[in-house]
Amino acid sequence: MITLSPKRKFKFPVEAECINPDIFAKKPAKEIATLQILEGNRKRSLRDLFKIKHEPDSPSEEFTIRLTGNTGKVRKIGSKMSMGSIIVEGDVGMHLGEEMNGGVITVTGNADSWAGSKMKGGTIEIKGNAGDYVGASYRGSTLGMNGGKIIIHGNAGYEVGCFMREGLIKVYGDVGRFAGIHMRNGTIFIQGNSEGRAGAQMIGGKIVVCGRIPSILPTFTIDNIRSKVKVDGEKVEGPFYRFFGDLADNGNGKLFVSKARNPHLNSYEEYLQYDL
């Protein structure tokens, strides 16, 4: 295991995609210390900004990188990683685990925007809150999350799962507007509330909202009421209104919304028969 601790508080963003088990595991400690990163627009070596402590892993353990201290401005941690684990004991900057293929990233604090952007595999678990665009594509791209799992124990911002194609995003807190916008496939589970416009322009996939949502987009149609819904192999008790959409894009996505938490939506019931 290698432990990294900032030598000082960072004033500028630190671009550190080299903090990656795939890269560290292939290099001796002296070479790891010389890996190049950016602080603002200036090139630095890893040892310029971090204290580096090396502890041998046991034969049964995967290679682990541990970050401690104030790392809230450190970006691109775990970019394109495919193995091992990263443990962040605190907050982390933007682009955590971008294009990740495997392994596990655990953050005990909060994560900034674009966590898990374009990821293809592996698991990201954030014990605090996450910013906007979790598991999303970048601007101008239609390639969002295409596999893997993101678990957020706190809240998340706008456009969770934008252009999502496969995988699972679980948010145990609340989310901002446009969760699942442009969604193609995969599952987004929201235990808390949604600020609305969930599933805008979605074509496929599944969104589950267990909390309150202000309204349903008019381009969605109600199908029935379900007593439960399956998420990641587990049954979540309802009942849930089930909507299909986005019809404006000929979509066939499924939007499940808690009936008990959204009594203002009961006017939809005149258009269906119960299917419990």
The reply to whether 27 falls in a domain is: no
Q: Establish how many alpha carbons lie within 13 A of residue 41's alpha carbon, considering only the half-sphere containing its beta carbon.
A: 0
CA 186 to chain centre: 13
pTM for the structure as a whole: 0.95
- Taking a C-beta distance cutoff of 8 angstroms, is the pair 16, 4 a contact? no
**What is the rounded distance in angstroms from the CA atom of residue 242 to the CA atom of residue 185?**
17
Q: What is the predicted pLDDT for the residue at 275?
A: 47
Q: Establish how many alpha carbons lie within 13 A of residue 84's alpha carbon, considering only the half-sphere containing its beta carbon.
A: 25
Cβ partners under 8 Å of residue 35, min gap 6: 18, 23, 27, 45, 46
The reply to whether 97 falls in a domain is: no
| Count of structural domains, the chain | 1
Q: What is the predicted pLDDT for the residue at 132?
A: 98
- Taking a C-beta distance cutoff of 8 angstroms, is the pair 200, 179 a contact? no
- Taking a C-beta distance cutoff of 8 angstroms, is the pair 101, 133 a contact? no
Residue 180 amino acid letter: G
The reply to whether 92 falls in a domain is: no
Quote the domain boundaries for residue 235. Answer: 113-271
- Consecutive sets of 10 residues in the chain, 276 residues long: mean pLDDT of each? 95 96 91 96 96 76 92 97 97 98 98 97 98 95 96 98 98 98 98 98 98 97 95 95 96 97 94 60
